[in-house]
Amino acid sequence: MATAAASPSSKRPARPAPRALAASDDVATLPVENPYLLAVGIMLASLLQILDTTIANVAIPHMQASLGATADEISWVLTSYIVAVAVAMPITGWLADRVGSRRLFLASVTGFVLSSMLCGMAQNVTQMVLFRALQGATGAFISPLSQAAMIDTNKPSRQSQMMAVWGMGIMAGPILGPVLGGYLTENWNWRSVFYVNVPLGIISLVIMAAELPSRKLVQRRFDLVGFALVALTLTSIQLLLDRGNHIDWFDSAEAWVYAFLALSAGWVAVIHLVTAREPLFKRHLFSDPNYVFAVFFSLVIGIVMFATMALLPPMLQRLFGYGVIDTGETLMPRGVGTLITMQLSGLLLRRGFDPRILMALGFLIAGISLWEMSSWSLQTDYYHIAMSGFVQGIGMGLVFIPMNASAFATLPPSLRTDGSSLLNLSRSIGSSIGISVVTSLLARNLQVSHSDLASHVTASFTQLVDLSTIDRFQDMGEAVLQMVDAEVNRQAAMIAYIDDFYLMMWLSFITVPLVIFMRKADLRTPRPAAEPGEPSAEAADLPH
C-alpha cells in the first residue's frame, strides 16, 4: 500500500535526537596523515603571534633609548601593530577562499617571520613603526586560520580536545609575553624580542608545509565598500582606545575625530552588511544564536582576561617590588589553572555535558577570583596573589573551550574561517577596550584617591613624626614629606587597582545569566549536513 501523503505539519522534519557517533560520521573535514604533528606546527605559529601582542611592551623603554624616540613616537610601535591586526583580520575568510587556506597560512607565517627580522634590524622609530604594522598585517591571519585548521583537520570526536590545546596557546600567550620579553631584554637586548620569532617560525613553517591541507578555492567577490567601512571603524576605535591616555581623551580634538569616524563609519557599515548582495561577512553567521553569543562572550573574555594581565605586572613590580622573573612566577599559576580546566572541559563536553553550565560556572568562578583580588592590600603575600590567579585561570578555562565548541558546533565547514576571524577579532577588540578602560580608570582613580588620602595627612595622623616642627629642619623635613607622599601614592595606587578589579568582577557576574540564551549543543555528534532553509556547506561555498 502506498504511503500516505505528508501532512502540512510534517513539512519541516524534527531534528533527530542525539545519537552515538558512528565511525562513518567521525571523519575530519580535511583529513591529514599526522594531525598531532600538524597541531604542533599550528600551535607554534599561533603562540608566536599571540606573544607578540605583549612581548614588546617591556622592551619599549630600551627601544625608546636606542632609537632616540620621544614617548609619543614610541607609543606608535604598539599602536601600529594593534591597528594593522584589526584592519587585516576581517578579510581572512575572503582571502582563504580566493588563494586557498594553505597558501594564506604559509604566506602569513612567512611574512610574520620576515617582518619580525625587520623589526629587530630597525635603525629608527619610523622603520620600527612601519615594520610593526607589517608584522601585525601579516600575522593577523594566523589566529583565525589556526583555529579553523585545528577544527578541519581533526574528526568531530577529537575537536573539543584540540580546541583545548589551541585555547592553551591563546590564553598562555599574554601571560608568557611580558615574562619572556623581560628575560630576553635583561639578558640580551630588545632586538632579541623580535629575533626569537625567526627559528621558531621556521620550525612551524616546515611542519605546516609538509602536513597542512587546503580548502577548495571559491570564486567570491570582494566587498570593497564593506571592507573600507569596517577598516575605518576598527581603525578609529583602536586609535581612540590606544591614544586616549596620551591625548587626554575628549579634552583633545583628535579624540573627537576618532569618535566621529567610528560612529559614522560603523553605522553605515552595519547598513551595508545587512543590505549588500555579497557582504564582507556571510550573513548566515549572524542567524546562529550560539555563534552571536559566543562573539559577545569572546569580547568579555578579552576585557576581563587581557585587562587583568595588563594590570598585574606593573602592580607587582611597582607596588610590591617584584622583579621580572618573580612576576612571571607569580602569574604562572593562572596558566596552570587554565590548562587544567581546558582539558577537563574538553573531557566533559565529549561526555555530553551541557556547555552552557560550564560557561556559567566559569564566569562565576572568574568573578569570585576578582572579588578576592578586590580585597588585596600592600601587605598581600605571594600565596594569595598566586591562588587568586589560579582560581581565575580555572574560570577562564571553563569558559573558553565550551564557548568555542558551541560557536562552531552548528556552523557549516565553509563558514569556519569567516567565523573564526570574527570571533578572534571580537576578542582582540575586547582586549583593547579592556586595557584602555582600566588604564584610564587607574590614572583617574589614583588622582582621586591621592587627594582623599592627602586630606587626612594632618599633624595628628601619626605619632612618629610631628609635622608641625618640620619647617624648623628644612632638609630633613623635605625628606620626611617626600616619604609621606610616596606612601600616600602607593596606597592611592592600590585603591585604584582595587577599583578596576571591582569593575571586572561585576562584568563577570553580569555575564553569567546571559548564558541561558544560548541553545544547548550536543558536542558528541557531528553537525548534520543542513537544516531545511539553511545553506549546506557546499551551497555556502557557491557565489550568489
Q: DSSP labels for 362-395?
A: HHHHHHHHHHHHTT--TT--HHHHHHHHHHHHHH
Task: Give the distance from CA 176 to its chain's centroid.
Answer: 14
Identity (one letter) of the amino acid at 328? G
Confidence class of residue 494 from pLDDT cuts 50, 70 and 90?
very high
Instruction: Bin 536: left if φ > 0, else alpha if -120 < ψ < 50, else beta.
Output: beta
CB burial string 188-206: b at 16+ within 10 A, e below: eebbebbbbbeebbeebbe
Confidence class of residue 17 from pLDDT cuts 50, 70 and 90?
very low
On average, the pLDDT of the chain sits at 80
Count of Cβ atoms closer than 10 Å to residue 327 Cβ: 21
Q: Looking at residue 476, what is its pLDDT? A: 55
Confidence class of residue 533 from pLDDT cuts 50, 70 and 90?
very low
Q: Looking at residue 4, what is its pLDDT? A: 42
Instruction: Bin 248: left if φ > 0, else alpha if -120 < ψ < 50, else beta.
Output: left
pTM to 2 decimal places: 0.76
Q: Which domains does the chain have, with CATH numbers?
A: 28-216 (1.20.1250.20), 224-277 (no CATH), 283-457+465-544 (1.20.1250.20)
If we measure between CA atoms, which residue out of 149, 388, 432, 403 comes closest to residue 290? 403
What is the spatial distance between Cα 350 and Cα 156, in angstroms, rounded to a whole number?
A: 10
What is the spatial distance between Cα 179 and Cα 57, in angstroms, rounded to a whole number?
A: 10
Mean pLDDT of 171-197: 79
Under 8 Å between Cβ of 516 and 309: no
CB burial string 2-40: b at 16+ within 10 A, e below: eeeeeeeeeeeeeeeeeeeeeeeeeebbbebeebeebbb
Residue 362: exposed, middle, or buried by beta-carbon count in 10 A (0-12, 13-18, 19+)? buried
Which carries the bigger pLDDT value, residue 30 or residue 371? 371
SS3 527: coil
